Amino acid sequence: MKTYEEALIECALTDERIIVMTAENRVAIRKLPPILGERFIDVGIAEQTMIGIAAGLALRGRIPIVHALAAFLTMRAFEFIRDDVGIAHLPVKLVGGVPGFLSDGNGPTHQAIEDIALMRGIPNMQIFAPADMNDLTASLPQIVASQEPCYIRYPAAAPTNIERTRLGIGNGEPIATGSDVEILTYGVLVREAILAREILAKEGVSVGIMDVRWLRPFDSETVLEAVHAAALTVTLEDHFLSGGLFSILSEELVKREEMATVLPIALEERWFKPALLPDVLEYEGFTGKQIAKKIKERLLGQPITIPKASTIRGLKTTSV
Amino acid sequence: MQTLSESRNIELQSLALRVREHIIRMATDGGCFIGASLSCTDLLVYLYSEALDMAPGRTQDSTRDYLLLSKGHDVPALYGTLAELGYFSKERLDNHLRTNDDIYWHPNRAIPGVEFHAGSLGHLLSVAIGIAMDIRLRKGSNRVFVIMGDGELNEGSVWEAMLTASAYKLNNLIAIVDRNEFQANVRTEELIPLEPLISKFEAMGWNAIRTNGHDFEAMQETFNQLLSMQSNQRKPGVIVANTVRGKGLPSIEQRADRWFVNFTHEEVAMLLLELHGVAKAALTSETLLVR
């Protein structure tokens, strides 16, 4: 399979509009400068300036693909993204490195675990959180072809071997079906969800998994169908509880006047323990085994009763 | 560009007078940021009339010169200038702050001639750099101008962008600082002193010249000088234009409390009289001097 660098080179060489930019972070794009020449722009450690310049380039018809660590890109430069890219509605593509747990040993300054909440606050901003490089490289041409701004959580993690059948902006990928539990997740935690499913299967629990992939546009149809098909829904994410997948699902349910029993697994009110990725997962309770245990406890705990969507709809007294 | 003829100078003064009338009329029924608007009126009139390769029919032409207004508050001066020069109808200025149009306290890209929206300070130098970089990539010869406020130079993003513009040797980029020596509420030198400003820009790798931002002949001379420097040296350029906040209305000039105003219609009528009185006196003394 292609590396991100190779996929990016392919896109850039076929589309003159593409400008690759970085705020002096070249880890994933080291080979690009000699290949792209002046279409590679490194502004130095200046995320705000990079976004402003990207907007200027986009005004002239370019499609800038900008790179910086997710934390600095979405937070240091937030207002620039909001004003220069968001208000202007320009097709700037934002690639955030080491998002969520992937910042492993860097410490809280580098932990982008509110990035989805922030980017979701900008009208028209697409948000893509692929589980692995294969999904990113396969999706890149469509992302570049779209006229919308897009934030990408860069997935520097081992491949998942998922065969994707629903590539395309805004499509979730159901990777497994199950009637007891439905795990909704994205990014680096997709692999852990798969492990949890295997463990639970041995105990007779039937688990479905949806790789949500796109937080925006959100695949409400597919997701809610899976949610209503299972007794318990689990939202699993390396993001603060507020503003991420759990929030999105809650909003979708309330909007439709539907209900579900949901176990949210996310980071609550604190930054995570900095360490190497496997140890972070272990310490924070996000390994497949720990996730399986949490789900089991929830299933054995208070009884789960789910009102069916149709019943709830029947309660509606007014229609909007 | 040639030196400015006397008749052209008087035409520009007359245009600036009409733009100031528009600004004063926008200072009621909700009001506007009058001080900053009046300080950069002559700069905008000069740039659109003499320096920019730009015209009402060319707002989408990729070979046009660009002018971005980063300081935002002075948008009545920009709208007044654009309306006078035919970018959109003058009647639309009456829609200031009305919901039937898109004319409000900060620049809006929906208005013909406005290149980018502004409002939050310290943004448009970067955007201007992006435009200038693309022009260079396409081997164009057009230029990008960006007007910043002196108070705006407090923002760190301006200095980030200055370093980048210098690193990329953008000699098609020209910044203009409206040096009216005021931030919103206080004098710049009493809060966060900027001087010596020219040497600061020079130390960042820019060509920098000072001018009188109310004197069209001086502006013509300075821009000629800067443009010739730009063609010889691969550096971005900046003009620090000394201006007076509230210029044209001695009753509000350099008054810290005349940043944002919302006058009554009677006050507006008085200020229009004041504006014309001052302009007439200036013209008479100038004419006498020439004779």
- Quick one: closest CA in B to A36, which residue? B137
* A70 and A37 belong to one structural domain: yes
Q: A16, A40, A41, A53: best mutation site toward chain B, by most B Cβ within 10 Å?
A: A53
Residue A135, pLDDT above cutoff 90: yes
Question: What is the rounded average pLDDT of the residues B190-213?
Answer: 97
Q: Do B134 and A62 touch (CB under 8 A)?
A: yes
In a domain, A189, yes or no: yes
Q: Do B164 and A43 touch (CB under 8 A)?
A: yes
In a domain, B121, yes or no: yes
Q: B61, B117, B136, B137: best mutation site toward chain A, by most A Cβ within 10 Å?
A: B137
In a domain, B1, yes or no: no
Chain B residues in contact with A24 by the CB 8 A cut-off are none
Residue of A192, A207, A223, A164 lying closest to A286 (CA atoms): A192
In a domain, A192, yes or no: yes
Chain B residues in contact with A88 by the CB 8 A cut-off are 109, 116-117
* A8 and A144 belong to one structural domain: yes
Domain that holds residue A115: 4-153
- Residue A311's pLDDT band, with cuts at 50, 70 and 90, is very low
Q: Do A54 and B130 touch (CB under 8 A)?
A: yes
Chain A residues in contact with B128 by the CB 8 A cut-off are 56
A92 Cβ under 8 Å from any chain B Cβ = no
Q: What is the pTM of this model?
A: 0.94
CA distance A82 to A61: 19
In a domain, A190, yes or no: yes
In a domain, B169, yes or no: yes
Name the minimum distance, in Å, from the CA of A52 to any CA of chain B.
5
* A120 and A254 belong to one structural domain: no
* A247 and A177 belong to one structural domain: yes
- Quick one: closest CA in A to B134, which residue? A57
Domain count, chain A: 2
Residue A313, pLDDT above cutoff 60: no
In a domain, A158, yes or no: no
* A137 and A24 belong to one structural domain: yes
Token pair in block for residue A141: 């041409």
Chain A residues in contact with B131 by the CB 8 A cut-off are 56-57, 59-60
* A243 and A179 belong to one structural domain: yes
In a domain, B24, yes or no: yes
In a domain, B40, yes or no: yes
% of chain A surpassing 70 pLDDT: 95
B130: nearest CB among A52, A79, A83: A52
* A12 and A142 belong to one structural domain: yes
Token pair in block for residue A16: 């003159």
Tens of pLDDT along A171-212? 999 999 999 999 999 999 999 999 999 999 999 999 999 999
Residues 128-147 of B with CB under 8 A from A: 128-138
Name the minimum distance, in Å, from the CA of B171 to any CA of chain A.
16
Residue at which a domain ends, from A153, A186, A209: A153
Residue at which a domain ends, from A87, A121, A153: A153
Residues 44-63 of B with CB under 8 A from A: 62
- Which residues partner with B211 through β-bridges? B241
Give the amino acid at B158: V
Residue A316, pLDDT above cutoff 60: no
Q: B62, B104, B123: best mutation site toward chain A, by most A Cβ within 10 Å?
A: B123
**What ranges make up the beta strands (E) of B75-166?**
144-149
Classify burial at B107, counting beta carbons within 10 Å of its beta carbon; exposed 0-12, middle 13-18, buried 19 or more: buried
CATH assignment at residue B111: 3.40.50.970
In a domain, A166, yes or no: no
* A142 and A193 belong to one structural domain: no
Residue with token string 């940021």: B33
Q: Do B164 and A58 touch (CB under 8 A)?
A: no
* A125 and A231 belong to one structural domain: no
- What are phi and psi for residue A240, nearest 5 degrees? -60, 150
* A131 and A196 belong to one structural domain: no
* A119 and A195 belong to one structural domain: no
Name the minimum distance, in Å, from the CA of A37 to any CA of chain B.
10
Tens of pLDDT along B275-286? 999 988 887 776
In a domain, B254, yes or no: yes
Chain A residues in contact with B62 by the CB 8 A cut-off are 60
Residue of A178, A82, A96, A177 lying closest to A130 (CA atoms): A96
Residue of A235, A229, A231 lying closest to A250 (CA atoms): A235
Q: Do A53 and B125 touch (CB under 8 A)?
A: no
% of chain A surpassing 90 pLDDT: 90
CATH assignment at residue A14: 3.40.50.970
Residue of A298, A181, A193, A296 lying closest to A231 (CA atoms): A181
Q: Do B129 and A87 touch (CB under 8 A)?
A: no
Residue at which a domain ends, from A153, A182, A215: A153
Give the amino acid at A90: L
Domain count, chain B: 1
- Residue A310's pLDDT band, with cuts at 50, 70 and 90, is very low
CATH assignment at residue A311: 3.40.50.920
- Residue B1's pLDDT band, with cuts at 50, 70 and 90, is low
Token pair in block for residue A149: 């701004």
Token pair in block for residue B263: 């006058």
Range from A300-309, B58-67, B158-167 carrying the lowest mean pLDDT? A300-309
In a domain, A164, yes or no: no
Q: What is the ipTM of this complex?
A: 0.95
CA distance A57 to A80: 14
In a domain, B20, yes or no: yes
In a domain, B289, yes or no: no
* A59 and A141 belong to one structural domain: yes
Cβ atoms of A286 and A257 within 8 Å: the answer is no
Range from A166-180, A265-279, A294-308 carrying the lowest mean pLDDT? A294-308
- Using the 8-state DSSP alphabet, how is residue B51 labeled? I
In a domain, A298, yes or no: yes
Domain that holds residue B76: 6-282
Cβ contacts of A80 within 8 Å, gap of 6 or more: A47, A48, A51, A52, A55, B123, B126, B157
Q: Do A59 and B135 touch (CB under 8 A)?
A: no
In a domain, A167, yes or no: no
